[in-house]
């Protein structure tokens, strides 16, 4: 294979760095250096640091955290990051519907990293654009509950963020949980899944040192601890059946009504 010109190779590395800078959390030069090496791109760490500094100066939306070393980089909240293709009206419509329906079914960090795309989708479908039919479609469809509409209980954003992060990373989670009787308990659980029933969100989990699954109403959880790597949940295969609707529906319904079920659902030990 012919060797790439130096300028073209530098452009390629710059594009790869821009693609890997996250929208939530931060990434440092060492991590990026390792990721590039895994792709077969060999550069010394110093050149990666220099290029990152140049990119952060060239792109105002790149935030460089110089509080501690190594410096961390991320895209500022609301920025679209690097997005070479233009978002079409159809893609914008898909993103808007996905944002409405998946807000509690995606990890909070992942959803936050999509903020730039969601903002762009709103702009593409905004008043004065040519996407008239796609914009009108949003007012033509609704998800209607088969039961009486209920006001969704308020879920602490921090609780949802830490819970979804623990679930996504297969980590243990410390929670202060208030059961249906108003009793508060500090407990550590292994998150296994999230189940949405109507306006309520439930955490399927397993209390540490126990083998049976429990279901906790997420709006009764507060003051979460940071997900812990201590006792990472082992996953040797798919988790089919962990949140099987047929298996857990009675327990979820019991939790929704605020009373214990045969699975002792909704009560912290």
What is the value of pTM for the model shown? 0.55
**Average pLDDT over every residue of 23-38:** 85
DSSP-assigned letters across all residues of 157-174: HHHHHHHHHHHHHT-BEE
The mean pLDDT value of the chain amounts to: 76
- Tell me the C-alpha distance between 166 and 174, whole Å: 10
For position 225, what pLDDT does the model report?
A: 55
112: nearest Cα among 66, 134, 90, 81: 81
The strand pair at 62-65 and 72-75 is best described as: antiparallel
Per-residue model confidence as pLDDT tens digits over 55-86: 988 888 899 998 888 899 998 887 766 654 56
Report cis status (omega within 30 of 0) of the bond before 70.
yes
For position 262, what pLDDT does the model report?
A: 38
Q: Under the phi-then-psi rule, with left for phi > 0, alpha for psi from -120 to 50, and beta for the rest, what region is 55?
A: alpha
For position 228, what pLDDT does the model report?
A: 55
Least confident interval from 50-54, 124-128, 130-134, 260-264:
260-264
85's tokens: 């293709």
Per-residue model confidence as pLDDT tens digits over 211-257: 888 888 888 887 655 555 444 444 433 344 444 544 444 554 454 44
Confidence class of residue 99 from pLDDT cuts 50, 70 and 90? confident
**Which of 21-25, 87-91, 149-153 reaches the highest mean pLDDT?**
87-91
- Structure-model confidence comparison of residues 224 and 98, the more confident one: 98
Q: Spell out the SS3 assignment of 226-244.
A: CCECCCCCCCCCCCCCCCC
The CA distances from residue 49 to 27, 40, 72, 161, in Å, are: 12, 18, 11, 31
Per-residue model confidence as pLDDT tens digits over 107-147: 877 777 677 678 778 888 988 888 999 999 999 988 777 77
């Amino acid at each position: 294979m012919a060797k790439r010109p130096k300028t073209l190779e530098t452009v390629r590395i710059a594009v790869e760095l821009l693609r890997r800078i996250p929208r939530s959390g931060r990434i440092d030069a060492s991590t990026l250096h390792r990721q590039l090496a895994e792709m077969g791109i060999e550069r010394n760490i110093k050149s990666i640091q220099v290029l990152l500094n140049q990119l952060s100066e060239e792109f105002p939306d790149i935030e460089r955290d110089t509080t501690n070393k190594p410096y961390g980089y991320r895209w500022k909240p609301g920025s679209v990051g690097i997005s070479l293709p233009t978002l079409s009206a159809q893609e914008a419509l898909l993103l808007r519907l996905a944002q409405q329906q998946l807000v509690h079914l995606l990890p909070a960090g992942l959803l936050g990293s999509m903020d730039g795309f969601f903002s762009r989708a709103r702009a593409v479908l905004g008043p004065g654009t040519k996407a008239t039919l796609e914009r009108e479609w949003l007012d033509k469809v609704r998800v209607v509950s088969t039961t009486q509409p209920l006001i969704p209980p308020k879920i602490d954003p921090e609780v949802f963020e830490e819970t979804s992060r623990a679930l996504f990373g297969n980590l243990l989670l410390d929670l202060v949980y208030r059961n249906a009787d108003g009793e508060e308990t500090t407990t550590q659980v292994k998150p296994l899944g999230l189940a949405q029933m109507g306006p309520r969100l439930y955490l399927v989990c397993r209390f540490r040192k126990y083998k049976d699954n429990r279901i906790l109403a997420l709006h009764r959880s507060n003051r979460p601890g940071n997900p812990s790597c201590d006792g990472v949940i082992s996953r040797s295969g798919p988790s089919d059946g962990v949140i099987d609707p047929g298996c857990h529906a009675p327990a979820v319904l019991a939790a929704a009504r605020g009373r214990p079920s045969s699975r002792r659902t909704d009560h912290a030990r």
